[in-house]
Amino acid sequence: MDIQTKPRGCTSFKVRQLMRRLSTHYDAEVSKSGLKTTQYSLLSHLKRLGAVRPVDFAAELKMTASTLSRNMQPLIAAGWVAQSAGADARSRLVALTPEGDAKWREAQHHWKIAQQKLNALLGVERVLALHLLIDESLELFGVEDAPDCSD
């Protein structure tokens, strides 16, 4: 690889280009479970958090409550996420249902296959280096470690 003294090109474009490729790679495999990778991510976070108020869930995911609500509707309609009463009459909770847990397990199997294929394609050393670079870069931006989507 040719070492340059300063970056050439647009870093944002390059990262978006890589992200599109990664998204397509994971989507192709995870979709075999009937989920989008974004839906798998929501189920993964709910599995980790347990029953949670939507406002707290949205804050955890760093998204607006309206965006979360819109993204949760198909999961609720499918019976993978349930809404229930919260601590008082004005609050509610969302949680994974047993069917949602089963769907998460199915999708996790496909996510693991996608990860193994990516490791084989890029090489484990490159994937580890990419993770380290991403983690260090996010830390410089002041972003906390995000939970792993494989959990």
What tens digit of pLDDT does each residue of 71-99 get? 999 999 999 999 998 777 677 899 999 99
Amino acid at 84: S
- Model confidence, pTM: 0.84
- Lowest-confidence region among 15-24, 33-42, 88-97, 103-112: 88-97
DSSP H helices, the chain, are 11-30, 37-49, 54-61, 65-77, 98-122, 124-140
Q: What is the tens place of the pLDDT at every residue in 33-73?
A: 999 999 999 999 999 999 999 999 999 998 999 999 999 99
| Residues 92, 69 contacting (CB under 8 angstroms) | no
**CA-closest candidate to residue 109, choices 34, 24, 57:** 34
CA distances from 28 to 18, 22, 118, 151 (A): 15, 10, 12, 20
% of the chain with per-residue pLDDT over 90: 79
- Scan for tokens 């996510």, then name that residue: 111
148 vs 51: which has the higher pLDDT: 51
Q: Return d(Cα 34, Cα 45) in angstroms, integer.
A: 18
